[in-house]
Structure 1
Amino acid sequence: MKRRMSPVVLLALVFGWFSTAQAVEYRDVNRTASQISFTYKQLGQRVYGTFSDFEGALTFDTQKPEAGHALLKIQLASIDAGSPDANDELQRASWFDTATYPVGVYESTGVTPLGDNHFKISGNLTIKGTTRPVDVDVVLKEQSGIGVFDGELILKRGDFKIGEGEWAGNSVVSDDINIKFKMVAPQR
């Protein structure tokens, strides 16, 4: 004989389950635990670099990811491209022009959940006075009350006038710069 569950018991189970589902909110990027790195090709060789000075602000609720917001400000003079000569060159007007444009900024305009803790963050990236829309694929890894947001994107140097004049194009330095980041934020 089949037993049917009463509607009252069914509703109690459903509402009980939903009330125990916990929203997790992350705020305030931990700069020390976070990192921004990049790779590119120069004369056919892969080169690795980092930015050491940046600050981030994050508001992200796992139950309402669409309402999330991220702001990242990078001090472009903090670049380390592997040598003092390269770092000095990248400060010049044909590259980042850090005397005029010291900060690169990414600010999100929307978050789209893709399932399984994957998200597409849409936003605007501003470098050297040029702003372009940029989508970033991000994976959230939750570890002991800490959210680790791993993301990656391809930046086209030419879109932001990074490496002008003799440095334009792909002949010496690749136009594609692969940027990876890890933003770490505590649970609130």
Structure 2
Amino acid sequence: MKHLTFVMALAAMMSLAFTTPVEKAAAYKVDVAGSTVKWTAYKVTGKHFGKINLKSGALEMSKTKLSKASFEVDMTTLTVEDISGEWADKLKGHLISDDFFSIEKFKTAKFVSTKIAPNGKPNGFSVTGDLTIKGITKPITFDVVVKNEAGKVTGTAALKVDRTNYDIKYGSGKFFQGLGDKAIYDEFDLEVTLVAAK
């Protein structure tokens, strides 16, 4: 009996010795002033770009593993930065209209993660979640690089979004024929940098 007890105790100690400690995740609040969201949209004759201010955001992360991510943007802050003056005002007016983002009705857009896993790259993760634009929610997957240093988490991601999934069809060759050089490509890019602290 003593021998059996000794063996069981030894086995328990060995199990503890080789068990990988579970990293405890902590909540981080996004610094909206120190974070950025840049947009770039493409057309046959070129592209336009600008920024949108973050309204809020949150990350959940241990020292090395990202487990949750979410952010909300204030669509009323949309800017156009590749042109200026009257032309910038006209483009912004068009983008906030019902032809595009209907900002009078839908003042925010948001993303909430549903699944996050390492993607095999340094500090890299594959993030899947729900992106809501104009009140329409669709799943999206993208890669993110996250660094956790000195109590501050910085995450950078590039999202490619198909606007037609969110009932934004203006100038889309998928829905209108004969647009020629007036066509606007369906996909636009979002470059998101989130800086967060506990």
**Shorter-chain TM-score category?**
0.7 to 0.9
Identity value in percent: 22
Unaligned runs of 5+ in 2: 1-9, 82-87, 174-178
Shift of 1:99: 1.6
- Distance in 2 (CA, whole Å) between partners of 1:32 and 1:81 is 19
1:8-57 superposed Cα distances (whole Å, 9 cap, x missing partner): xxx6xx67xx67x9757351001111100021223422322110242112
Shift of 1:69: 2.0
**Correspondence for 1:160:** 166
Query: Which runs of structure 1 show a deviation greater than 6 angstroms over 4 or more consecutive aligned residues?
Result: none
Change in Cα spacing, 1:144 to 1:45, as seen in structure 2 (3 Å) is same
- Distance in 1 (CA, whole Å) between partners of 2:54 and 2:145 is 23
1:32 aligns to what SS in structure 2?
A: coil
What is the root-mean-square deviation in Å for CA atoms of aligned residues?
2.9
Please say which structure displays the higher CA radius of gyration: 2
Change in Cα spacing, 1:163 to 1:51, as seen in structure 2 (3 Å) is farther
- Distance in 1 (CA, whole Å) between partners of 2:145 and 2:64 is 15
Count of residue correspondences:
174
Unaligned runs of 5+ in 1: 1-6
Shift of 1:63: 5.4
**Correspondence for 2:5:** none
* Structure 2 residue 178 is matched with structure 1 residue 173: no
Judge conservation of contact 1:23–1:63 (CA < 8 Å) in 2: no
Shift of 1:127: 0.9
TM-score, normalised on structure 2? 0.75
Paired residues for 1:19-168 under 5 Å = 25-62=26-63, 65=66, 68-82=67-81, 83-115=88-120, 116-164=122-170, 167-168=171-172
- Distance in 1 (CA, whole Å) between partners of 2:53 and 2:89 is 15
Shift of 1:119: 0.6
Judge conservation of contact 2:39–2:51 (CA < 8 Å) in 1: yes
- Distance in 1 (CA, whole Å) between partners of 2:98 and 2:91 is 14
